[in-house]
Amino acid sequence: VLIWRADAYTDSRPLLPPFPNGVCSGSVVTLPQDELYSTKSSPFNLFSSIENIMLPPRDVKVWMPAEYHKPEFRTHQFPVLYCHDGQNAMEDADSWTGSSWRLVGALTRLYERDLLRIEAPPIVVLVPCGDSFQRRHSEYGDLPHPVSQAHGEFMANKLHPYIMNRFRVKEGPEHCAALGSSLGGQASLQLLLRYPKIFGAAACL
């Protein structure tokens, strides 16, 4: 879980926005859609077709801090932060509004000033919402909604195991959190409530 260490703040530089835009010396990979989604629908595979209707394939990106590839961290495992509306989180050019949250910039700056109670910044999994406001409302909507349930199951039972297998990620809910704004915050809270053995914290903004 990420904790802001206000008591340890000794850097004289003001910790104020705007935070840096972009990857901030880290690196980004885009996960192959065919490894996360049923990208080949077939009339003979009803489950695959229904799954694509519920959650159409999209590009999920993973940001790794610069420390991930440094020799001194080669055996280090990292906490993981899942970000709803991931298209809005890092790059201004990708954001709906033209101005991203600059989440990666904020995490990097906090880490540089020893304001995170972790040894290195977390891996951030940027999960974009559907391609329309109506679909976003369904995916991040109230828990009984079948599309919202499908989103939660995808996050907990497909995406998280994939991240655990591919990246050096710490195990346990104390090292796994979800974040989102508005309905993305609701979706993050629902992950915490539905899958407490996986997600140990939620930032609902």
21-33 pLDDT tens trace = 999 999 999 999 9
Given the structure tokens 């940027």, which residue do they identify? Answer: 126
Q: What pLDDT is attached to residue 6?
A: 45
Tens of pLDDT, residues 138-187:
999 998 889 999 999 999 999 999 999 999 999 999 999 999 999 999 99
pLDDT of residue 47: 41
Q: What is the pLDDT of residue 9?
A: 47
pLDDT at 4: 44
Mean pLDDT of the chain: 88
| 44 band by pLDDT with thresholds 50, 70 and 90 | very low
User: H helices of 40-159, where?
Assistant: 46-54, 103-112, 133-139, 146-154
pLDDT-based confidence at 50, cuts 50/70/90? low
**Section 114-127 average pLDDT:** 93
- Decide if pLDDT at 115 tops 50: yes
- How many angstroms separate the CA atoms of 42 and 46, rounded? 7
pLDDT for position 32: 95
User: Which parts of 55-169 fold into alpha helices (H)?
Assistant: 103-112, 133-139, 146-154, 160-166
Residue 205's Cβ-count burial label (10 Å; 0-12, 13-18, 19+) is: exposed
Pairing mode, strands 201-204 and 27-30: unpaired
Dist. CA 69–CA 163, nearest whole Å: 17
Exposed/middle/buried for residue 108 (C-beta within 10 Å: 0-12, 13-18, 19+): buried
Exposed/middle/buried for 44, CB within 10 Å: 0-12, 13-18, 19+?
exposed
